[in-house]
Structure 1
Amino acid sequence: MSECQLIVGGGVLGLLSAYALASAGNHVALFDSQSVGAESSWAGGGIVSPLYPWRYSPAVTALAHWSQDFYPWLGEQLLAQTQIDPEVYVTGLYWLDLDDEADALAWARREERPLQCVDVAAVERAVPALAKSFGRVLHMADVANVRNPRLVKALRAALQQMPNVTMHEHCAVSGFIREGGRVTGVHTAQGDMYADQVVLAAGAWSGELMKTLGIELPVVPVKGQMILYKCREDFLPAIVLAKGRYAIPRRDGHVLIGSTLEHAGFDKTPTDEALASLKASAVELLPALADAELVGHWAGLRPGSPEGIPFIGPVPGHDGLWLNCGHYRNGLVLAPASCQLLADLMLRREPIVDPAPYAPAGRLALAG
């Protein structure tokens, strides 16, 4: 017998959770306080890799590797279903002048990933726009980026085609309905809504909602600002990354530069200071951007969490409530694996990876 599941949050984690659960035949209702995909899922860069994968725990690595292998299929599936191309674009990624190059290479050997040192002159031939100021380069050829605004648009369209999915946009959730020790629904702007299970996938806002249950979920907003240039289509053939800043090429010649890391609460106002800093980084990486057309500057809020390890699984003492949140800088990277794992746990299937590192049990506290 199919169950009814209610998802709070319409970012890529909420959308893919709905897609996975509905594909298994369940009835899914998804709620977002605005249009789906309008927050960090839209604002991010879309690199299908952690920026520095060797600096993360094995828990993040496990989800990243599964998702990286899955993304090409997901892009093809969504294009076939919706005629909207998420543009999963395999460009490779160059890391420039790393301080921890030896750690990166050791990680690659251990994880059997195709990361290698490459000759600077060869990189300069492959990426002519790159500044000539770098001395050492690591390269991974199979890294892709996804055009995240198109990904959420495709997911929204796919869900709209499914008769067992309803989407409630511009419908804020203010808290949870509890009956005994069980969560049975949510309070919304359109009234109380009930379900067999509730999934919280509200990104940076997840911690605020958990406080309504007296639970301290360590997920906090971390602001990130980015800028966008319009260049010719062949200007940048690969992702380049130096000093924590990156340039991401889109197929049509747009180049994203990101990103800042700011603790500013829920303020998403773009600032002149960040704009100047991002433009300086852009020109340091790709000098010709000094004369390129700047076409965008925006900010989003990442769901910061301890060590960037997401919370995926049931909430102890609150039967019926599940978490899929706290992915910090890697929401788009980890989303396919995170949502598959969530669905596996909720549907009592064999999980794709060991769920223990992501379990909320032992990682939550009572709100003060």
Structure 2
Amino acid sequence: MHNILIIGAGAIGLQSARLLAQAGCTVTLLDQSAVGSEASWAGGGIVSPLYPWRYSEAVTALAHWSQDFYPRLGDKLIEEGGVDPEVHVTGLYWLDLEDEAEALAWAKREGRPLRQVEMAEVETAVPVLRHGYRHAIHMAGVANVRNPRLLKSLRAALEVLPNVEIREQCAVEGFLREDGRVVGVQTAQGELRADAVVVAAGAWSGELLKSLGLELPVEPVKGQMILFKCAADFLPAMVMANGRYAIPRRDGHILVGSTLEYEGFDKTPTDEALESLRASAIELLPALADAEVVKHWAGLRPGSPDGIPFIGPVPEHEGLWLNCGHFRNGLVLAPASCQLLTDLLLGQAPIVDPAPYAPALRLRRAQ
């Protein structure tokens, strides 16, 4: 495989392109709009599933590999392209969980640094937290990454590589097939051919595969977020309660999210979500009542069964590969997902067992 075409220039597409190009492939990266302008830009950037103990082993395997790799990835991207993705290690507190015992049992089983902490300790560490929470668990070392900066950082790393071409505003209209093999795509800018075509188009991946008579169970799931601006030291750690979270950036921006809405491809922010998110923010951190909401936005996650991504070749369509369907964990799982795709495409030993992600058993023929 020397000439690779990747559909979708979000975090998954960008990181896939980076790894394949560094391995010596010639890569063309296409996006129907602008690089990184969809779910990758819109998410919170916590480098952990929100409730990691509630996921399957398939998600856990990718999450652990990625979490342990992220700090090195940040350093590598600065070195390669000169743009800091702002990997910010703060740790994460979960408050008043109903399944705290299950979380602690999972951490012991998986060897993860999750521990029960006294509320007095939490309130000392996070003075702006509302008083009244009864119990907490804490995982040290959990980072968040500043999504827009990560996307700029990945793009900068690609732009210094001579074997990568990025084409924005280049929507794919269909696949080119010869003798049962996918050999490229048809776009508004003409035909593009490749040895392999990788679909990494997030929530739009299922729509693309319909033209091949395939039904990929990936659907758009809207999530809305709000952003406050506070002092740089306002919130020293990420906190989560009642399904909502607050994430501090280095410069004092605080993200609060998120909603989970099945509204098709509509990503219009709503007043109802704004009020709900602001109320959750104030419930968690009362001082935010006096802070201005500086931004409110929505994005479309690529929802998939059990949040398990599709990674690998598509049976009966030689030349077609998937790296999509990461649901709420695209940024979390990107390093491992893209390394696994690269391993499989290039015939290398895979970093994790690829079987749980293989499209072969999980794709259905469209009716």
Deviation at 1:81, TM superposition (A): 1.8
Aligned residue type for 2:216: L
- The residue that corresponds to 2:297 in the other structure is 298
Deviation at 1:82, TM superposition (A): 1.9
- The residue that corresponds to 1:178 in the other structure is 177
Q: Distance in 2 between matches of 1:358 and 1:243?
A: 30
Q: Distance in 2 between matches of 1:256 and 1:81?
A: 28
CA deviations 1:243-264 (Å, max 9, x no partner) are 1100000000000000000000
SS of alignment partner, residue 138 of structure 2: strand
CA deviations 1:302-343 (Å, max 9, x no partner) are 000000000000000000000000000000000000000000
- The residue that corresponds to 1:28 in the other structure is 27
CA deviations 1:89-147 (Å, max 9, x no partner) are 11000000000001000000000001000010111011000000200000001100000
- The residue that corresponds to 2:321 in the other structure is 322
- The residue that corresponds to 1:97 in the other structure is 96
Q: Distance in 1 between matches of 2:274 and 2:173?
A: 34
| Matched-pair contact (CA < 8 Å) for 2:114–2:137 | yes
SS of alignment partner, residue 360 of structure 2: coil
Aligned residue type for 1:148: N
Q: Distance in 1 between matches of 2:81 and 2:183?
A: 33
- The residue that corresponds to 1:358 in the other structure is 357
Superposed counterparts of 1:145-224, under 5 Å: 145-224=144-223
Deviation at 1:79, TM superposition (A): 1.0
- The residue that corresponds to 1:69 in the other structure is 68
SS of alignment partner, residue 175 of structure 2: strand
Q: Distance in 2 between matches of 1:134 and 1:187?
A: 56
Matched residue count: 367
- The residue that corresponds to 2:9 in the other structure is 10
Aligned residue type for 1:171: C
- Alignment of 1:53 with 2:43, yes or no, is no
RMSD, aligned α-carbons: 0.6
Q: Distance in 1 between matches of 2:366 and 2:204?
A: 15
Q: Distance in 2 between matches of 1:82 and 1:17?
A: 16
Superposed counterparts of 1:201-350, under 5 Å: 201-350=200-349
CA deviations 1:18-37 (Å, max 9, x no partner) are 00100000100000011110
- The residue that corresponds to 1:143 in the other structure is 142
SS of alignment partner, residue 228 of structure 1: strand
| Matched-pair contact (CA < 8 Å) for 2:82–2:156 | no
State the TM-score, normalized to the length of structure 2: 0.99
Gaps in structure 1 of 5+ consecutive residues:
none
Q: Distance in 1 between matches of 2:254 and 2:288?
A: 9
Q: Distance in 2 between matches of 1:94 and 1:157?
A: 33
Aligned residue type for 2:206: G
Aligned residue type for 1:350: A
Deviation at 1:83, TM superposition (A): 1.9
Aligned residue type for 2:218: V
Q: Distance in 1 between matches of 2:112 and 2:145?
A: 20
CA deviations 1:23-75 (Å, max 9, x no partner) are 00010000001111000000000000000000000000000000001110110
Percent identity over paired residues: 72
Gaps in structure 2 of 5+ consecutive residues:
none
Q: Distance in 1 between matches of 2:115 and 2:103?
A: 9
State the TM-score, normalized to the length of structure 1: 0.99
CA deviations 1:153-200 (Å, max 9, x no partner) are 011111111000000011111111111210000011100100000000
Which is worse superposed, 212-221 or 171-180? Answer: 171-180
SS of alignment partner, residue 278 of structure 2: helix
Aligned residue type for 1:57: S
Q: Distance in 2 between matches of 1:194 and 1:111?
A: 44
SS of alignment partner, residue 334 of structure 1: helix
